[in-house]
Homo-oligomer: A and B are copies of this chain.
Amino acid sequence: MRQAVFLIQTNDRIGLLAEISNFFYSRNCNILQCRQYTDIRENKYFMRVAVDLNAAMTCRELESEFEALAAELKLTTYQVFHSGVRQNMAVMVSKTSHCLYDLLVHAEEGDLDCRIPLIISNHPDLEPVADRFRVPFFCLPIVNGDKAAQEARILELLEHHRIDLVVMARYMQILSDDFISRYPQRIINIHHAFLPAFQGGNPYERAWERGVKMIGATAHYATAELDEGPIIEQDVERITHEKDPDDLKQIGKDIERRVLTRAVRAHLEHRVICSGRRTIVFSR
């Protein structure tokens, strides 16, 4: 079954749902799922439409006809994704393997619809993990503090492998603004705290010192401001006074892995739209 997903973002006005659903109906495309959200405060309209393509029409034809509709309706922006086109995901790691494993296992079990053509790290430690899943591993340390050179090499690899999504699975370096600007809303980072609490380093240690009763993790799109990007997914777990920072780290691993995997899944399934610092995450 050929399917396509349309992600639409525009100013709200009456009739959008009718005109867009008509468009597909008149072309005999069955709407499989349609989700809308109106942000009344900012008068914005967001929409995700999944359609079943009828046999008589090519993707390209549908897209070009939709382009005409978009112009007519003055849609601010939209994206179209076709089923059958698997996305390429690069994973960046440093030394801890828990998030990487969770991504690899979910991908292998068919719960993340993507290819993983490469894993990139600034340390050699996780090469054996990559080997197990037969994923090429590139160890690219920062040599003599020349981060620009390292990033250039990474960007080259990403381009070469036609990467659609970069996942920072506990990659302990801060990417440069330039790097991030090459992949807008296509780099997902996991922060090991419930943002905006404990931005920056050592969140588990600081959570222990503050005496919080729950700890959490946050997956967000990377932006130029550290830990300030649009949040895709968060989760928490209850802790007691008995847990010391090492316990928090261990408990946190399970939170981090599920939060990151869920965020990646939402992105891969074309369910996320960014609107300023906020994300619209349509449910499956």
Contact = CB atoms under 8 A, between A and B. Distances in A.
A109 B132 contact: no
B211 A231 contact: yes
* Chain A: number of interface residues, binned into ranges: 35 or more
Nearest to A30: B14
Given A14-B25, A14-B28, A109-B97, A230 B211 contact: yes
A22 B26 CA distance: 13
Interface in A100-142: 101-102, 105, 108-109, 111, 132-133
Interface in A261-284: 277-281, 283-284
Interface in A181-219: 194-198, 209-214, 216
Nearest to A277: B211
B105 A101 contact: yes
Q: How many of these chains are in the complex?
A: 4
Nearest to A280: B241
A102 B101 CA distance: 9
A68 interface: no
Contacts of A25: 14-15, 17-19
Contact of A17 (B15, B21, B211, B236): B21
B277 A210 contact: yes
A244 interface: yes
Interface string A149-172: 000000000000000000000000
A2 interface: no
Interface stretch (A37-45, A72-80, A82-90): A37-45
A63 interface: no
Given A21-B17, A210-B196, A234-B213, A37 B242 contact: yes
Nearest to A242: B37
Interface of A: 14-15, 17-19, 21-22, 24-26, 28, 30-34, 36-38, 40-41, 97-98, 101-102, 105, 108-109, 111, 132-133, 194-198, 209-214, 216, 230-236, 240-242, 244, 247, 250, 253-254, 258, 277-281, 283-284
12 contacts: A17-B21, A33-B38, A97-B105, A101-B105, A109-B253, A194-B214, A213-B231, A213-B233, A214-B216, A214-B236, A240-B283, A241-B279
